[in-house]
Amino acid sequence: MTEPRGVAAVVPATIGGAVLAGLWRAELTFQAGCRPETIGACLSWRIPVLLLGPVVVAVGSWLVLRAAGAARPLLATSLGVLATAGVTLLHQAGRSGWNPPSVLLAALFAAFGFTVGVVVAGLRMPVALRAALAVLLAVPVVLFPTIKESGTRDGRVENFARLGLPLLVPEVGAYRVVAARADPAGGQLSLVLADGPRRLSVDTIRVPPDFAPPQRCGPSAVEVSLRGTVSLPPSNGPCQRFAADHWLRTENGHPVHLLRRGDALVLVSPGVDVPDRDVAAAAGQLVEVSPRELAALLG
């Protein structure tokens, strides 16, 4: 194979990588500002394009390689995809959440990945050496879950520490923390605990300025849990005293416990088929943990 022929595949890969990154970033911006009023309102045309786009780019690169008369076009394409995926995943591993690279960076990743794929597939070398290089290119993809999990845990610890709120977790029966969302800007920690199909929600927010039980007991549990996703009319309904700094009110026929801990207000609310005794037990057994301990509870 002559190298220039194979490198021709870098062009569609580079363009495709840049386009896909641009669409990904546009979709995230759209999702962040979307407030659904109907089911599917936040599903844009970009989602199927992003799902099928990498396949289209790979096929296009393979066709260019074949048309250019490059040796081993399928192997070159496969290694190009593998190398591009590896460098992209390494970029993601060091970041919290899933944030696409910039358009320029995505183009560089694709250009690098397919150049590597073309070179490894095209140069004359022993089969064993080519196989070893292919395995080496697969290492970032294989190790990504472990690296990402470590980075995600560190990101969670940082977010929990930035909240400025007590991290209160119930110790009740077989319930375990299965989800946690920290919003440092909004001053809110939302936990979901599960025991089989049963779910408990524990939301910690800053005490509202007009909090004055039993007449004004702050926002409802539903309003708090849906903050940032669905806008609901603000509520500040009454409640009844349950114990010191502990109140109770009924929402949609279910008990919601409100507890004050310094400048924080904790709302403990049940999901479907959760016994009232479990809700009361959770509210009565709140334990403060450190940011790292809370991150460890999520696995």
What pLDDT, on the 0 to 100 scale, is given for residue 46? Answer: 92
Q: What does the pLDDT read at residue 40?
A: 67
The strand pairing partners of 270, in sequence order, are 200
Note the pLDDT of residue 36: 67
Band the pLDDT of 42: cuts 50, 70, 90.
Answer: confident
Under the banding of pLDDT at 50, 70 and 90, the label for residue 148 is confident
Residue 2, pLDDT score: 44
> Can you give the pLDDT at residue 294?
93
Which pLDDT score, from 0 to 100, does residue 4 have?
59
Mean pLDDT across the stretch 127-151? 86
Query: What is the per-residue pLDDT across 80-105, written as a single tens digit (0 to 9) for each?
Result: 999 999 999 988 876 666 788 999 99
| pLDDT score, position 31 | 83
pLDDT at position 122 over 60: yes
At residue 13 the predicted structure's pLDDT band, cuts being 50, 70 and 90, is: very high
CA triplet 153, 155, 161: central angle to 5 degrees? 105
Q: What is the pLDDT of residues 220-272, one digit of tens each?
A: 888 888 765 555 566 778 999 999 999 999 988 899 999 999 999 999 999 88
What pLDDT score was predicted for residue 1?
42
Q: Write down the pLDDT at residue 222.
A: 85
Higher-confidence residue: 198 or 70?
Answer: 198
Average pLDDT, integer, range 190-194: 94
Let me know: does 185 contact 228? Beta carbons within 8 Å. no
pLDDT for residue 3: 53
HEC string of the chain? CCHHHHHCCHHHHHHHHHHHHHHHHHHHHHHHHCCCCCCCCCCCCHHHHHHHHHHHHHHHHHHHHHHCCCCCHHHHHHHHHHHHHHHHHHHHHCCCCCCCCCHHHHHHHHHHHHHHHHHHHHCCCCHHHHHHHHHHHHHHHHHHHHHHHHHHHHHHHHHHHHCCCCCEEECCCCCEEEEEEEECCCCEEEEEEEECCEEEEEEEEECCCCCECCCECCCCHHHHHCCCCCCCCCCCCCCEEEECCEEEEEECCEEEEEEEECCEEEEEEECCCCCHHHHHHHHHCEEECCHHHHHHHCC
